[in-house]
Structure 1
Amino acid sequence: MSAPDQSRPRSLSQWRPRPGDLVLAGGTLAALFASLVPILRVISLGWWMIVALGIAALILATGVFARGMRLPAVGVAVAEVVVWIAVVTGFFFAPTAILLVIPTRATVDAASTAISSALEQIQYGSAPLSPNLGLSIVMAALTGLLAIVFDHVVVTARMPLLAAVGFIALSLAPAIAVPADFDPAAFVFLAICILFLIRTDTQLRREQAGTVPGPVARSWAQTAPPKRSGPSWAAPRAPSAPPTRSSTTAMAAGIGAIGLVVALVLTPLLPSPGVHAGFGSAAVTIDASLRLGDDLRRPVDTEVLTVRTSGAAAPYLRVATLSDFSGTDWQPDAGPVWPVERTSSFEKVQVDKGIALMKTTTTVNILNLSTRWLPVPYPAVGVADLGADWSVMRDNRTIVGSVNTSDGQAYEVTTQVPNPTSEQIRASSATSVDGAAADEPTTSTLPEPVPALIGQLAREVTAGAATDYDALLDLQDWFRGPDFTYSLTAPRTGGFDTSGLASIDAFLQKKEGYCIHFASAFAVMARILGMHSRIVVGYLPGMASAAVGADPGLYTVMSSQLHAWPEVYFQGIGWVPFEPTKGLGTPTAFNAAIANGPGAVNRPTPTSPSQSATPKQNLGGNKLDETNANRGSAAAAATVNPAPWIGAAVGLLIAAMVPGLIGLLRRRRLLAAAHEENAAAAWTYLQEAAIDIGMSVPASESPRAFAARLGALGFVHPDQLAVLLNGIERASYGRGGLRGQWQGEAMADAAASVRTSLLSSLSPSARWRALVVPRSLFVRPGSVYAGGAVA
């Protein structure tokens, strides 16, 4: 079949796949799946993954079919988009579509609703998300779009190395959102898929180059001399150089070795994404999923906000409540939100008659905190000075935003704190309640099975309690007693930095841990005793400002005061906080009416860890219990551990060197093949040199026209171009095939010399870019990215 016939669309009876398309499409699907595996740490595995991969497979199969019909690249992309729309519509929105697959206005509205639902879950949920219908639809549809993009890059453009960058970026995105330990199995799987694509593409090019004998080449090209310059008389571009099997394997092994070094050695040294580098300060983030270990072990203590309150003491500040306990972790509460308003954002606090309410006003000024949860005192009844980006969750009286825009916010919160006497709270029940707690069954449920030790200790410690309140005081006193030790480091292995049942069981045996272990153990034990409980993530009360002349009501909150504590719901009073963490905060204790009368301040109090009777706790170089006198000097003297930054710098340096090293290996391989009289290798070396300096190398341009264009530049020696042109024309049209008629040394020397001349024409900065990041690694000669017109 002649060249024009090959480029025309075929009938269905003439269809046959292009060589290698099926293999490349299969490799693309495997690499896409491998790059999606890390996202399971953000979104739980479910049916959405099966549907997503099914849509991706169907789209890739459509691409193989369309290319087998000899459709142009644009036609292939259009066919895949049409299939994507039809499949997504038919699978998710068939009732709203015409003939089940043709979308209508109702389909667009339903898709918009699904996207809104997905965004809401992403915004207010915490990893790992249990995907709702909207999130499942969005993930499946996005996977289909990714399949279209990667199919175009890998199969149409034949640039698997560029696709590898996309696959790696896709796999790294979940690690940025939810930091986790390195997963070597997922990395090896993705590396194998990427190396398979690169190896397959290289092998296909070698086979295609090796099957171009002289007689066949004559049928591809016009041998008559051109009547005029330009691409209109074009002959086919020279066949690609066949890489040797050993060199290709060595290059693949080199890429894999560099990747392993970066992943296994340098990645653990990189700084946590929770702290962003700055000049003298840090913007701190909050992980509301109760994974606070890394946050608390930060090497530098940072001032995150200041608080000014009308009350007698600085309040605890909450950012999120966690009620749903799966047995392995606690999930932040999600629910309906309302726009922020000055006076009616929250409902009024409802308490039984006779329970005193203490009204206070607190102003919060955020300095170095980037989060979508605003720290607020509890229970808030009003908030002022916030913009439209913020909404309130009335169920737990917290404030959430659409983006991480908390840094620099200043706002005023009004609270009404229930202040029962000890007699009133003892008369209240935490085991048989109605109202807010009863409406939330997740506040009392426990997964099965619960380790026997947890229930046994809960009942033993509270055996002598006469009331629910007394039982909780017994638990609080036990945790804060001499049997337990506050520790951020013991033990650090075996999932210790989690709040699940297994960690609680280990904590109760070891009796060493930090706030998440104390809070989680307390909340679970309360549920075992039949009470409604939850966990709060927020900040301990701040320290009075040490600034000279500061307002006595101004308090400073540091990043090391990030904290978690439990709450238990009491009938007629509401959610009551407790403080079981040894050495931190102030334990809950309500006063008797006779001693202080109603309205006495019971919890929290302004005492700091340094003012309590418990020993100071050393938190990896930062003391939570610093006094006002030495806090400023300690913060000024804090030093930054240089190891993470050195590791990051070395990692970036290696990453920057990788493209240049790969380009160097490829050029050495081409020159080695040219020395062995492979004219195609020498010509490909020349084409890639031109691409590296920014020249176009279209498929429609013959070798003679390309050589004429290079010669017209004026800085390439014509004799060297003549050697290369003579070699490729003999290889294409002579009987010797790819071999250069015993001109191997001359062709290799000429190719290297021409490349040197081309690079010398560039400015120093452009020459450096061409060497460090060779454009030819991503743009193949004659590909759609190599230029459709002659420059």
Structure 2
Amino acid sequence: MQGAVGVAHDEGVSRRPSPWAATGALFVALMAAMGALHVALEGSSWWFVCAGAAAAVLAASGGTRAALGAVSASRASVARPGRANRAIIALLPTLVGSVVAMILVPLFVVPSTTVLGLPTTRTGQALELLYPLGAESLSAQIPPAEVDEGVLAILVTGIAVMAVLLDALAISLRRPALAGIGLMVLAIAPSVVVRSAEFGWLLLTGLAWLWLLAAGRPLRGRRAWDAVAVGASAAVFALLVPLFAPVPSGSTATGSGGGEIRMGVNPIVGLGQDLRRPVVREALEYSTTSGTPRYLRLMALEGFDDSGWFHVPSPAEPLESGAVPPPPGLSDDVTRFVETTSITIRELGGLWVPMPYPAVGVEGFKAAATWDFDTVALRADRRSVRGEKFSVSSLSLDPTPQQLQDAGVAVPEPYQDLAQLDPSWPAVISETAASVTVDATTSYERALAIQDFLRNGDFLYSEKAPVREGYDGSSADVVGVFLAEGSGYCVHFASAMALMARSVGIPARVAVGFLPGEKSDETGFDEGETAWLVTSKELHAWPELYFDGIGWVPFEPTTGRGEVPDYAEPEALDDVAPADPSAAPVPSTRPSAAPTTPLAPAEALPGTGQAGPTNSSLSPWLLAIPVVVFLALVPALARLLVRAVQLSAVRRRRAESVVAWNEVVRSARDLGVPVEPATTPRQNAAILARQLGQQQPALDRLLDAVEREQFSRDDTGYPRAASDARSVIRGLRRSVSLRRRAIATLWPRSAIERIIRTIS
């Protein structure tokens, strides 16, 4: 009986929670968590629709619960309800909320299919069509996504289901702490998709959850502080997660980080992942007016650093403006004809638009898009290219070997940086290139020598060897290993030729796209045209080299893959007249089609992110250090705060001496002294006395005050209880080792145990 006193004062008396207070807190928490989705979804009307659905469901559950509570209260004096009736009372509000949700979701999403507000067979059929359309729409868009009918159907259904489940968990089952898991998952989810989550919504969700904890299971005294500690930790955790969420990298050239073709082609490592996937995806289908299959390019990667190739944003122009970037460096002397390619995108995702190079016009492309002028590539602004059907007018160029030979070794000023290597990169690249091109005198001869060395030498095509041997990728170190190992796939061949070309003074970059594909069984887009089917197995990378007066010219160094253009065949040099190039690259007097002024960040292509090395002000890890330290110190801070509040209340005679005694017992347990809260004060005092020295009198006075309060009607109080408790605690701390004092301060056992109990 004596031991129970401390427990009673420590835990407080439980009160029955107000159903409407808990329902209101849950609604606020749920809508705050939904608000975090605004970084991933366009507009705000969807939020108000979801708020209406959640309010209706929770109002139905709360109203039922309040009515049942009133009935139970009126009959409480007659008879206590049995276990079966109590179960019905607990579950009936959830059942009513579920029924309301099933009625309201169709009214919000497909009202035309209902009769007198009730769902019909047509309702189920409509929803069955809308859900996959919504999922497809979300996967095809780049955040913030447009909320169409399908997406709205998913949102409204999801919020209604969450309202029912969280109402049952937080209020019916009285487990509001566990409901916080669902709320935080919903609030943090946008951070996993979009790096720009706003911490305000996360913090608001955490605060609303604290309200739910207080309203759902009202706590007093010590347990209230435990709930505050748990809620504060959860709020800080929610703020920390977006810094380290495994989101797609913003520096990939397509805006896709997974390498799956339906999410976009992710150069360079993601391309290899797609090639190795056992499931073959149908990327697209196309036909050409000439009947000739074409390479379809997505983008060109000009930037190169220690991590490999990356896209460099260049001057941009919206597709709808009608402006088309001219092919850089192309003179009127090069033979060309205009060809139209009709393209239907099937399972290919991402933002970059596949098309022949160089394109001079696009018709029928529905999504908003932007031209990248330097690379003559088209990029959708937000919505994935999947499902697009359009036509591209492009130039089919036919430079002669003599024109390529006559280009000599001239390098225009804008491309000089693309014609050199960093001295710190593996020497094997430049040494191999120098050895291979020792007899070549022009850029054209050097390019053919490097291509022949890679394509017709001792190299083997393998998509698995680089992974097995640990050199997959496109960095300079990987290229060095590839040249030594002699086995790899298109990424390695293209990267090797581009870097080797740069080492001998030829501007070079890597293009990513598709091989021509195979003839399709389907007829062409127009009567009599041949259709070509391109799958994920046709993903490819190839080098493009710059020749003055011709521009960017593709080569094919990958052995066993693709087709070598006529001008790139080794025998193309047979009928070429010798050139008289200068000994070193010289700036060309030909104007460049693309401006060379660096872009300000606002001028970069939308959504390309920062390409290449960045100079961020602070690393997320550095920003997280104080947050992590705070999380680690939450138990200590909570323990110190509660002790100060409790002893202050005793000192001011607002609490009995037993409160001070309970603080002594908790402090002793933190220090590893074998006392137990359920043991009588005198039994615990005997254990404490063995640890104390000069503070023994303070312990005796405090024990006497506690026993007088328990066994007599003396309510005068003991004014020295707080100071005696502090004296006993100081004596206990002096009696143990420094290590045990540090553990008791930083991670007090009593606080951690109570936080765990609060959560569970």
TM-score range (shorter-chain normalised) is 0.3 to 0.5
Q: TM-score, normalised by structure 2?
A: 0.46
Higher gyration radius (CA) = 2
